[in-house]
Chain A
């Protein structure tokens, strides 16, 4: 006997993600989900973003990691609220983890919530967390061919950060080719080349983000 189900496989995750999104909207919080390989510079980019925007916005961070609290401690050392999620082996964050982390934050006291996803170029792409934008970071040492190998993550991202730009010469990174493939995959995504630890090129990225934060505040009910 044939029984129709017609249900999304990730229905539970997607429903909770929608609840998260409604909560963020009620409090006028803009939420960005940063995705990258381990070591690409997610934490460094978050620290550079905090340095650039902390005088304008109240920022909080959710740190996703398979284990350990080191990234949350790095953020908290700068006086920014940071919640650590340990996925206990899972290779990506899901919306229920975000819900539990958000329960510990006072959203009305936050303008910008930054999520550091688990280091992985594959899994985070299919999971809606309730964020407003997914942004991926590729670092120069990973090579300019990565969009060919991991096209999915470039396609779901609203913007692409090219980090460790200070090392372009060392790694023979072909930036023109990189930009051209990213454009083919995702014509509307801006590419921000920057060096998070040196603070170079950060402004174009943070101004893009600031415009999105302003837009989220403007539509707050």
Chain B
């Protein structure tokens, strides 16, 4: 299960940052995940509840912002949001597009005491 490893990365970075600030508690962790990654939010939440046990993040909230897929058309330069199966320009129908968002796996911030 892939989300365990992802969650481990989130927690390691958060605990490191909390230790630098001499925090006694992590209240929440904010992350951004692109919809084109293989991360499922419910599996991530489950992994989070398991991995935070007995740490200063136990009981904290994991806030997940999902980012839609976005591409820029190489022919007409239009920027458009799309799903997994329709990465083609909404304006001119071209398939020559460059993905600019949707593969994020990012820790944004933490809230600590």
Contact = CB atoms under 8 A, between A and B. Distances in A.
Q: Do A and B bind each other?
A: yes
B54 interface: no
Q: Give 8 closest A-B pairs by Cβ, nearest first.
A: A187-B95, A9-B9, A9-B105, A123-B2, A151-B84, A5-B107, A4-B109, A122-B38
B14 A151 contact: no
B2 A5 contact: no
A123 B107 contact: no
Interface string A33-57: 0000000000000000000000000
Interface string A168-188: 000000000000010011111
A2 B87 contact: no
Given A91-B2, A155-B84, A3 B109 contact: yes
B34 to A, nearest CB: 10
A1 B25 CA distance: 10
Contacts of A10: 6, 9, 105
Contacts of B17: 3, 5
7 contacts: A3-B18, A5-B110, A6-B107, A9-B10, A9-B106, A122-B2, A185-B84
A134 interface: no
A12 interface: yes
A139 B68 CA distance: 30
B111 A1 contact: yes
Interface of B: 1-2, 5-6, 9-10, 13-14, 17-18, 21, 23, 31, 36-39, 84-88, 95-96, 105-113
Identify whether the interface residues of A are mostly helix, strand, loop, or mixed.
mixed
A155 B71 CA distance: 13
Given A9-B6, A12-B9, A187 B87 contact: yes
Tier of interface size on chain A:
20 to 34
B108 A152 contact: no
A184 B39 contact: no
B88 A126 contact: no
Nearest to A153: B38
A86 interface: no
A92 B2 contact: yes
B107 A7 contact: yes
Contact of A9 (B31, B85, B86): B31
Given A3-B17, A5-B13, A10-B9, A126 B37 contact: yes
A151 B84 CA distance: 7
Contacts of B110: 2-3, 5
A185 B99 CA distance: 12
Contacts of A2: 109-111
Contacts of A151: 84-85
A8 interface: yes
Which of B5, B6, B39, B111 has the most C-beta atoms of chain A within 10 angstroms of its own C-beta? B5
B96 to A, nearest CB: 8
Nearest to A147: B85
